Amino acid sequence: MIGGVLLLIKEKFTIKISHFLTSFAAGTLLGTAFFDLLPEAQEAADGRGANIFLWALIGILIFFLLERFIHHHSHHNHHDHGKDHEHKEAVVPLLIIGDSLHNFIDGVAIAATFLVSIPLGIVTSLAVATHEIPQEIGDFGLMLNKGIPRKKVIWINLYSAAAALGGAILTYLAKDFLQGLLPAVLALTSGFFIYIAVANLIPEIHLRENQKIAFWETVMLVSGVFVVYLVISLLEGRV
């Protein structure tokens, strides 16, 4: 909700900083995947024979297929219906479905990592928060541009965000079953994070042609990686 509220209160300022938030989010996702999730998955997999790199790849492929499905249906409906209001009716539900699935997976990731350790859960929550804020700014803006009333957009966002809570609760309830699957779940989550950073956020960063903005976006991305490393080190007592 933070991203949407910021957009509604200070639209111009929020749009201006959203590029930098996106860069920072890409860094935190990559840092969390490589500094925290994959090492924890590898440690949890010792003696179990789980191939964490295979599960990380599966995570990347799952998100790729999900996005292909959403983009395919959005593109299909756009060509089948020439009128703008019909396209709006096609795009908005797909956006809500895709965002809800994404939020559900985020909830599963947060709960699963807290089952491993509190520090890991905190770092994962940080990574989720940093990429959700700029994403929700974009979703809010898109729905507003499609003519959806502001009040309705807020409720849509709230219901979609509730999917994360549902994913977390289901994961917690199934914790006994998931204990043996934790290496795979952690590796899957790392795959999700890597895909979001590399396929969604970094291409968006490259679209900026202003060299001054490009420089500071690069700084923000590297800062995101460094912040995650610092947080992990502090939580584990290494610094």
Query: What pLDDT, on a 0 to 100 scale, did the predictor assign at position 145?
Result: 64
Give the residue from 185, 194, 179 showing the smallest Cα distance to 52.
Answer: 185
Identify the band that residue 128 occupies on the pLDDT scale cut at 50, 70 and 90.
Answer: confident
Domain count, the chain: 1
Q: Closest Cα partner for 25 from 222, 179, 176?
A: 222
- Where residue 92 falls among pLDDT bands split at 50, 70, 90? low
Nearest to 28, CA basis, from 207, 2, 20: 20
| Region for residue 149 given its phi and psi (left: phi exceeds 0; alpha: psi -120 to 50; beta: otherwise) | beta
Q: Where are the alpha helices (DSSP H) in 81-117?
A: 84-116
pLDDT at 44: 83
Asked if residue 91 has pLDDT above 60, the reply is no
Spell 194-227 as b/e; 16+ CB within 10 A means b: bbbbeebbbebbeeeeeeeebebbeebbebbbeb
Q: Are 171 and 15 in contact (CB under 8 A)?
A: no
3-state helix, strand, coil in the chain (%, to 5): 90, 0, 10
Residue 77 confidence class, pLDDT cut points 50, 70, 90: low
Average confidence (pLDDT) over 96-102: 77
179 pLDDT more than 60: yes
* Global confidence as pTM: 0.76
Residue 8 lies in a domain: no
pLDDT recorded at residue 138: 66
pLDDT band at 21 (very low <50, low <70, confident <90, very high): confident
* Within a domain: 11: no
Q: Is 9 a member of any domain?
A: no
Q: Is residue 205 in a domain? A: yes
For residues 62 and 83, what is the distance between their CA atoms, to the nearest angstrom? 32
Please report, as a single letter, which amino acid is at residue 59: G
Statement: residue 82 has pLDDT above 60 = no
Contact between 193 and 38 under an 8 Å Cβ cutoff? The reply is: no
Q: Is the pLDDT of residue 66 over 70?
A: yes
The answer to the question of residue 1 being in a domain is no
Is residue 10 a part of any domain in this protein?
no
Q: Which of 36-50, 52-66, 76-90, 119-133 has the highest mean pLDDT?
A: 52-66
pLDDT above 90 covers a percentage of the chain that reads: 19
Asked whether the beta carbons of 200 and 33 are under 8 A apart, the reply is no
Check pLDDT > 70 for residue 142: no
Q: 79-92 in b/e burial notation, b at 16+ Cβ within 10 A?
A: eeeeeeeebbebbb
Parent domain of 142: 18-235
Inside any domain, residue 59: yes
Q: Does residue 179 sit within a domain?
A: yes
Per-residue pLDDT at 175 exceeds 70: yes
Nearest to 18 by CA among 138, 150, 157, 139: 138
Asked if 88 contacts 146 with a C-beta cutoff of 8 angstroms, the reply is yes
Ranges 100-104, 144-148, 200-204: which has the least confidence: 144-148
